[in-house]
Every structure is written in C-alpha cells, then in structure tokens.
C-alpha cells in the first residue's frame, strides 16, 4: 500500500486518523458509571471495582479500589446518614488520589496508595448498566473512548483510574492524568513507600459509556456529551439526518452495495427500540446486528458521519482555508513547523476538527517516546472507527522509512464506493485485515 510517511526535520503532520487533540478526552459521557460509596456491600445495580494484586506470599488476590481525600474527616462529613447506609456520591469533594483497601488492624480498614494511607472513607463502584472495561494502551496512542473522571489532583487536574502491570497479570492502581504536565500518563506508586512512576504506555485504563452520547450533534468535534432527547424524538431525528445529508448518489451507492433500498433500511430502523437508536447516534464503533448491517446500517453510519462533518465545516467557513482542498483530498497535511505561527496551527486545528477557534485547547507539545511492543495491533493497516477523528504531531528529526514511521493511504479517509464495499465486507465479519 502507498505510504504518506514523510522525512523532514521539524515537520508538522495533521492526519485524518485516530484521536483528536490530546486534551479532549471523552469524559462527560461516562461520569455516571463510577461513583464513590460507603458501606461494605454495593447497592443493587452496582459492584465494587477490584484489581488483582500480589500478596505478601506472592499469591494473587482481589483488592477493592478506594479514594483518598485532602481530609478524610471532611469527606465522611459531607454525607448524610442515609447516604452512609448505602452510597455517597461526595459531590461536594472530589478524591485527590486512588488506592487499594488494606487491613489496618483486625477491626479497621485503610486506603493505601503505595506511599501513604488514611482511614477508609469511600470505595469505587461501577454501574452495572454501563459498558465498563479496562483498555490496554500502547505507546503510540492517547487514552481514547469514554474516560471516567475519578477525581481531581491537589493541583486541580482531573484524573481517571488506571492500573500498572507488576507481574503475572497483577497490577498496582494509579491515576490516569487527563490534564496538566503528566497528561496521558498513568501514575502508579509501584511498591510500598515508592514514589510515583508515570507510564506513557503498557498500562490499562478504565473506560465506560452509558450509551447516551449523541455523535451527530457535533460530529466534527467528536462531541460525546449527553443530549436532552426523548425516546420519541430519536426517530424523526434520524429520519431528518438521512433526508438532509444523503444525496441521491449516496443512496444509489448504498443500494448497489447492499442490494437493499435505503427506504427499506430506514423502515426497519424505525421499528427498533429507542435504546438501539441511541447506539446509532453514539460513538460506538460497531453495532453488532447482522440483519441490519447486511442491509447497510454500518455503511449508513459511516456516510452520515462524513456528510454531516462536511456540512459543518462549510457552515463555519472552513472550506475557505488554504489547506482545505488538500486535506479533504488526501486526509493528511505536512507543514514546516518553523514557518507556522500559533495562529496558523490553530487555524489548521479548527479546519480539520470543525471546532470554533474559541473552543480549541491551548497548544502544548508533549515529547512522547514510542517503544516497540510485540503483537501491537497498531502495526496493521486499519480503520480506527466509523467517523472522522484526527492526530497532530511533529517529527523532531529527519525521519526515514527504516525508522518505521506511520503509514497512511492518501485519500482513504473518504467513503468512496470502493472503500464502502470493503467496509461492508468487514461489517459482515469476513477475514480481512483491519477493522471498521
């Protein structure tokens, strides 16, 4: 396959791929999936969050994740008696760190983070209604998906929950930094009394989603915020998106590939439960429904995401940007960093993402060494997800093919008929490399 990897010093590349700017984690959608509660037993609909650790005798055991506060007394005092009997959300005070529950003596428990401990106040509980999982992170990507906000450091930086590998599938608990100088790293105090070590790869982080995200509300900016849409409003909303954004050519292409009229697929979608339609609006990469995917559901989501993003860029005037045509054609831009001002970079970021300038994060470059991992799926040519997403970075030195730079097929970001045929086969779970 052709490659767009470039070899130039201090080269800025903006790619239609992967995750948008590092400071934009999908945090809001998972906020109800993790709570901090009191009591020895989790209430109905929840379970304690536990990880496997090695005991003093090297025998693996499950330990419960807990929270540390600036003042454990004020943490306990912020809850009512009724909440103490079940769950306390501690809305008035966020945890500043996470640890594991340990036995202080025969009758009491403490929360220990590998360095310090305090009397146990709250433990982590996950909602059984959420799709909660641990995701392994390689060195060449940032945490993506719906990252759960677990608390805020003493310096005011939000963090999630991560776990650092120790040995034999045992872990230490840590903080996934979502902002600040350690952003994107997992900080664990590995071993009793040791200082925090921040990993930038080879760790797992906790992510979840509630199925309430509305991708098409602002697909260009990858918004994953909840929207106030009733069940009955989902149906006309989907119909309007199809009517407004699918051209006759799009419909003809879908019908040729799937051998199904778009109107037939639309009728079948209108018969689905509201919970299923919410999945269509969400960031869920793939909806496993063989019948509807054979009729073109996955292709429909791909096309709608692309067409809505295109429309939003034009509405905001980004089609007038000097790099717009190149980026839309190739899916990648290569610019000389020494010739770009901060305003130039912001303009590029706005154009490729669809954000308004005032919505963009401050520009901060992070040195991120990449370590080879055997069996890393990132080495295979693949499609990250069904909608547009972006990456921006700098090659600090001359980069050659021998160094294994990123490979990208120019123009592969667009849903051409040929790509849609391949995506159709992928969505039917044929033996193809890459994922859709």
Confirm if 303 and 419 have CB atoms less than 8 A apart. Answer: no
Per-residue pLDDT tens over the stretch 347-366: 998 898 887 888 777 777 77
Distance CA 227, CA 223 (A): 10
Per-residue pLDDT tens over the stretch 396-415: 778 888 877 888 889 999 99
pTM of the model: 0.71
Question: Based on the number of CB atoms within 10 Å of its own CB, is 338 exposed (0-12), middle (13-18) or buried (19 or more)?
Answer: exposed
Share of the chain above pLDDT 90, in %: 31
Torsion angle of C-alpha atoms 29, 53, 61, 69, degrees rounded to 10? -60
| Average pLDDT, integer, range 85-93 | 47
Residue that is written with structure tokens 């999936």 in the block: 33
- Give the sign of the dihedral formed by CA 350, CA 20, CA 432, CA 295: negative
- Give the sign of the dihedral formed by CA 43, CA 186, CA 208, CA 31: positive
| Amino acid 11: pLDDT | 57
More confident residue, 12 or 248: 248
* pLDDT, the chain, mean: 78
């Amino acid at each position: 396959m052709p490659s767009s990897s470039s070899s130039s010093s201090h080269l800025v590349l903006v790619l239609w791929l992967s995750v948008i700017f590092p400071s934009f984690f999908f945090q809001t959608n998972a906020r109800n999936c993790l709570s901090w509660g009191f009591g020895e037993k989790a209430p109905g609909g929840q379970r304690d969050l536990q990880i496997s650790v090695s005991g003093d005798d090297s025998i693996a055991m499950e330990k419960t994740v807990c929270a540390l506060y600036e003042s454990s007394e004020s943490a306990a005092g912020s809850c009512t008696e009724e909440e103490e009997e079940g769950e306390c959300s501690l809305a008035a005070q966020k945890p500043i760190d996470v640890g594991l529950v340990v036995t202080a003596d025969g009758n009491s428990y403490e929360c220990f983070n590998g360095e310090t401990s305090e009397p146990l106040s709250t433990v982590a509980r996950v909602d059984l209604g959420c799709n909660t999982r641990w995701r392994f992170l390689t060195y060449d990507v940032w945490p993506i998906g719906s990252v759960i906000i677990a608390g805020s450091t003493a310096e005011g930086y939000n963090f999630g929950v991560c776990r650092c590998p120790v040995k034999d599938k045992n872990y230490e608990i840590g903080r996934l930094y979502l902002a600040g100088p350690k952003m994107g790293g997992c900080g664990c105090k590995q071993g009793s009394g040791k200082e925090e070590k921040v990993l930038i790869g080879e760790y797992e982080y906790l992510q979840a989603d509630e199925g309430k995200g509305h991708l098409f509300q602002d697909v260009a900016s990858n918004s994953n915020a909840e929207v106030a849409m009733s069940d009955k409003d989902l149906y006309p909303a989907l119909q309007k998106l199809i009517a407004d954004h699918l051209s006759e050519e799009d419909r003809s292409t879908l019908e040729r590939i799937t051998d199904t009229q778009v109107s037939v697929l639309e009728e079948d979608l209108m018969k689905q439960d509201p919970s299923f339609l919410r999945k269509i609006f969400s960031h869920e990469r793939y909806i496993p429904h063989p019948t509807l995917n054979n009729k073109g559901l996955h292709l429909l989501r791909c096309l709608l995401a692309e067409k809505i993003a295109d429309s939003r860029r034009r509405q905001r005037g980004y089609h007038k940007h000097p790099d717009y045509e190149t980026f839309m054609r190739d899916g990648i831009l290569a610019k000389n960093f020494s010739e770009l001002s901060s305003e130039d970079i912001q303009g590029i970021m706005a154009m490729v993402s669809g954000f308004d300038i005032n919505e963009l994060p401050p520009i901060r470059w992070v040195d991120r060494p990449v370590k080879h991992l055997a069996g890393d799926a990132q080495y295979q040519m693949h499609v990250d997800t069904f909608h547009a997403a972006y990456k921006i970075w700098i090659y600090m030195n001359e980069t050659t093919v021998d160094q294994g730079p990123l490979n990208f097929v120019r123009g592969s970001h667009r849903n051409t008929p040929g790509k849609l045929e391949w995506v159709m086969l992928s969505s039917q779970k044929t033996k193809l490399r890459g994922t859709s």
